[in-house]
């Protein structure tokens, strides 16, 4: 017996003449628009829907632009729900749309990519050189560790070994933080930047003093020179600071001598300079600062790219040579690798990136095995870490010749210098004999798996220092710390005869 063909699925509604009538959903596109706008679809999903359905490609006929398709209109509505986008002027929104590629779906991708990279409105823990900053989900900021230059923002020069709440910022919601040598910077949800600690740049390697005339600021102070710039991310190098605006422009302070960053300024210059060159018209979604170089990840219609500039020693700019670059230059090798970078990290001397497919690339100085390729040679082009081929990475962090990779399943891998026990490996069962051993290939940080914890984010000291430490945030929003604690930077109780924690320990701070 032949089976009857399946009945066509239709939405139904009541009518006067019949009990049920087909409900023509496509005749009521507003309902479809609401469904799309209220969904949690990614920009790529909206693009796929539009590509496979003629109905979704045609003009929707709704304001503010009747020529927009339903997916593009839904993307615009989803953008408007973002706190950094909603208050923008119409002309600024339209300008951002054009810079992103002429589609609201691309603007949505730009905004969501940024939110993911710098954990906007999510908890953060920043492992600075000798001091630390923690930002909670609710926007509170805590600092602890060394305070010789006022970098804790407590109003004094007293160091703190326990998390200290910055009460002077009461009523201000902090959404992002950065810590450099003797300085700290915070960004509020209104896009304002606060800074404290040493106010000039020099060569503070290993605690050496900066230039004569440097002053110390002991409480958070608004950076007035950034008036008119809505900041979303800040990155601190050894000689400069970079600030990313919500429109995707990059501004840099200092280190302009000899036009190293495309401009000519002095170490004490407090005026931000927009990064010139190709990035003037390309939206940047993430920045990362190394000791003497800068990485910028862009979000364009053609996909994700990374540009670099600054000092090229060791090949850390990723261009196949060791030449300095005064202006941003595209790292072209990612295209050869068919690698779409979704996250970048800049250590003092080496860099890393995570691809959309979960691969990890590293390049630059390979000392102590920090590139994860099993040797200590330099790599002047991004190279895939083959030993992680069975791991889908979602996040990477770099420090002083150290690298951490967070996998999609919550596992963490680390490699490079074992100094200060900041890699999280115990080594021998006694936990002492080889705790400082270097790790040449990625190794699982088994401590978190044994605790039943899944990690989502890692931060480690990204500066030239032998007092490195590491923070890890779990999926359940707990904070773990390990490594050097000689200055109180772990936020843990440290015995007088042992300033290191080889095994991750829970920090007593509420991240909610």
- Cα separation, 419 vs 422, whole angstroms: 7
Most confident of 110-119, 452-461, 492-501: 452-461
172/196 same-domain check: yes
Tokens (6 digits) for 273 = 């300079």
Most confident of 188-202, 255-269, 316-330: 316-330
Instruction: Grade residue 465 by pLDDT with cuts at 50, 70 and 90.
Output: low
Query: What pLDDT sits at residue 497?
Result: 59
Instruction: Grade residue 40 by pLDDT with cuts at 50, 70 and 90.
Output: confident
Query: What pLDDT sits at residue 204?
Result: 42
In a domain, 1, yes or no: no
State yes or no: pLDDT of 390 exceeds 60: yes
Torsion of CA 252, 258, 262, 265, to 10 degrees: 40
Question: What are the tens digits of pLDDT across the range 254-292?
Answer: 776 666 677 666 666 668 889 888 998 899 999 999 999
Among residues 116, 149, 180, which one ends one of the domains? 116
Q: Residue 30: CA atoms inside 13 Å, Cβ hemisphere, count? A: 3
Question: Nearest to residue 163, comparing CAs of 174, 153, 176?
Answer: 153
In a domain, 450, yes or no: yes
Contacting residues for 449 by C-beta, under 8 A, at least 6 apart: 411
Query: What pLDDT sits at residue 351?
Result: 98
Domain count, the chain: 2
Question: What are the tens digits of pLDDT across the range 487-496?
Answer: 999 999 877 5
Q: How high is the mean pLDDT of the chain?
A: 87
357/457 same-domain check: yes
In a domain, 252, yes or no: yes
30 against 317, higher pLDDT = 317
Tokens (6 digits) for 417 = 């210098």
In a domain, 24, yes or no: no
Question: What mean pLDDT is predicted for residues 109-123?
Answer: 89
Query: What pLDDT sits at residue 401?
Result: 93
Among residues 116, 134, 167, which one ends one of the domains? 116
261/410 same-domain check: yes
Lowest-confidence segment of 1-5, 80-84, 335-339, 436-440 by average pLDDT: 1-5
72/154 same-domain check: no
Query: What pLDDT sits at residue 139?
Result: 96
Separation of CA 127 from chain center: 14
Question: What mean pLDDT is predicted for residues 91-96?
Answer: 93
152/108 same-domain check: no
Query: What pLDDT sits at residue 10?
Result: 44
Query: What pLDDT sits at residue 209?
Result: 44
Q: What percent of the chain has pLDDT over 90?
A: 63
Lowest-confidence segment of 9-13, 70-74, 239-243, 422-426 by average pLDDT: 9-13
List Cα–Cα distances, 240 to 233, 364, 431, 483, in angstroms.
14, 20, 39, 26
- Cα separation, 240 vs 52, whole angstroms: 47
180/219 same-domain check: yes
Q: Cβ–Cβ contacts within 10 Å for residue 192, how many?
A: 18
105/126 same-domain check: no
Separation of CA 456 from chain center: 12
In a domain, 486, yes or no: yes
Question: Nearest to residue 385, comparing CAs of 421, 316, 339, 335?
Answer: 339
In a domain, 90, yes or no: yes
Residue 341, beta-bridge partner list: 355
DSSP-derived secondary structure for 279-310: GGGS-EEEEEE-SSEEEEEEEETTEEEEEEEE
Instruction: Grade residue 439 by pLDDT with cuts at 50, 70 and 90.
Output: very high
pTM assigned to the model: 0.89
286 against 35, higher pLDDT = 286
With H, G, I as helix, E, B as strand and everything else as coil, classify residue 71. Answer: helix
447/384 same-domain check: yes
With H, G, I as helix, E, B as strand and everything else as coil, classify residue 19. Answer: coil
62 against 159, higher pLDDT = 159
Tokens (6 digits) for 290 = 């190394």
In a domain, 235, yes or no: yes
Query: What pLDDT sits at residue 35?
Result: 81
60 against 100, higher pLDDT = 100
Instruction: Grade residue 201 by pLDDT with cuts at 50, 70 and 90.
Output: low
Q: Contact, 77 vs 37, CB < 8 A?
A: yes
Q: What percent of the chain has pLDDT over 70?
A: 85
State yes or no: pLDDT of 12 exceeds 60: no
List Cα–Cα distances, 196 to 371, 382, 437, in angstroms.
33, 35, 36
Which domain does 85 fall in, by range?
32-116
150/60 same-domain check: no
State yes or no: pLDDT of 43 exceeds 50: yes
List Cα–Cα distances, 453 to 83, 122, 295, 406, 410, in angstroms.
31, 18, 31, 12, 8
Q: Contact, 504 vs 424, CB < 8 A?
A: yes
Question: What mean pLDDT is predicted for residues 130-139?
Answer: 96
153/108 same-domain check: no
| 443: phi then psi, degrees, rounded to nearest 5 | -130, 135
In a domain, 454, yes or no: yes
- Cα separation, 475 vs 380, whole angstroms: 35
List the alpha helices (DSSP H) in 101-168.
104-117
239/381 same-domain check: yes
State yes or no: pLDDT of 247 exceeds 70: yes
Question: What mean pLDDT is predicted for residues 441-470?
Answer: 90
Q: Contact, 153 vs 170, CB < 8 A?
A: no
State yes or no: pLDDT of 179 exceeds 90: yes
Query: What pLDDT sits at residue 307?
Result: 98
State yes or no: pLDDT of 449 exceeds 80: yes
Among residues 58, 86, 116, which one ends one of the domains? 116
Identify the CATH number of the domain in which residue 367 sits.
Answer: 2.130.10.30
188/257 same-domain check: yes
Tokens (6 digits) for 30 = 């507003």
Query: Which residue shows structure tokens 């800074």?
Result: 195
State yes or no: pLDDT of 17 exceeds 60: no
Tokens (6 digits) for 69 = 């398709």
């Amino acid at each position: 017996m032949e089976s009857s063909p399946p009945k066509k699925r239709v939405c139904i509604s009541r009518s006067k003449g019949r009990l049920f009538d087909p409900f023509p959903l496509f005749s009521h596109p507003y309902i479809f628009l609401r469904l799309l706008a209220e969904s949690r679809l990614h920009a790529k999903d909206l693009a796929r829907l539009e590509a496979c359905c003629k109905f979704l490609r045609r003009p929707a006929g709704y304001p503010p632009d009747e020529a927009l398709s339903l997916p593009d209109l839904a993307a615009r509505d989803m953008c408007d729900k973002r706190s950094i986008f909603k208050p923008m002027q119409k002309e600024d929104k339209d300008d951002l749309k054009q810079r992103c590629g002429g589609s609201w779906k691309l603007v949505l991708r730009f905004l969501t990519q940024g939110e993911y990279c710098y954990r906007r409105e999510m908890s953060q823990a920043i492992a600075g050189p000798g001091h630390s900053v923690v930002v909670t989900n609710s926007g509170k900021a805590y600092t602890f560790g060394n305070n010789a230059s006022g970098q804790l923002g407590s109003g004094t020069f007293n160091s703190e070994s326990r998390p200290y709440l910055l009460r002077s910022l009461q009523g201000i919601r902090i959404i992002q933080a950065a810590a450099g040598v003797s300085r700290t910077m915070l960004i509020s949800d209104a896009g304002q930047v606060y800074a404290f600690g040493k106010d000039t740049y020099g060569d503070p390697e290993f605690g050496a003093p900066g230039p004569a005339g440097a002053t110390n600021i002991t409480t958070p102070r608004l950076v007035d020179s950034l008036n008119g710039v809505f900041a979303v991310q800040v990155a601190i190098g050894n000689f400069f600071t970079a600030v990313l605006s919500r429109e995707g422009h990059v501004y840099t302070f200092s280190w302009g001598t000899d036009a190293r960053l495309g401009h000519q300024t002095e170490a004490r210059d407090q005026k931000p300079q927009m990064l010139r060159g190709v990035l003037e018209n390309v939206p940047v979604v993430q920045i990362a600062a190394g000791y003497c170089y800068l990485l910028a990840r862009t979000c364009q219609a053609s996909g994700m790219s990374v540009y670099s500039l600054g000092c090229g020693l060791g090949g850390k700019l990723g261009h196949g040579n060791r030449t300095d670059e005064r202006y941003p230059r595209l790292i072209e090798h990612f295209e050869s690798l068919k690698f779409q970078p979704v996250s970048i990290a800049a250590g003092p001397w080496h860099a890393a990136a995570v691809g959309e497919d979960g691969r990890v690339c590293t390049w630059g100085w390979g000392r102590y095995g920090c590139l994860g390729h099993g040797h200590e040679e330099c790599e002047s082009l991004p190279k895939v870490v083959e030993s992680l081929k069975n791991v889908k990475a979602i996040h990477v962090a770099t420090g002083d010749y150290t690298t951490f990779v967070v996998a999609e399943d919550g596992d963490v891998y680390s490699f490079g210098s074992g100094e200060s026990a900041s890699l999280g490996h115990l080594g021998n069962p006694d936990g002492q004999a080889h705790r400082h051993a270097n790790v040449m290939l990625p190794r699982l940080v088994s401590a978190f798996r044994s605790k039943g914890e899944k990690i989502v984010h890692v931060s480690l000291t990204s500066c030239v220092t032998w007092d490195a430490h590491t923070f890890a945030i779990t999926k359940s929003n707990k904070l773990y710390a390990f490594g050097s604690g000689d200055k109180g930077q772990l936020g843990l109780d440290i015995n007088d005869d042992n300033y290191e924690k080889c095994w991750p320990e829970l920090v007593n701070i509420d991240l909610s």
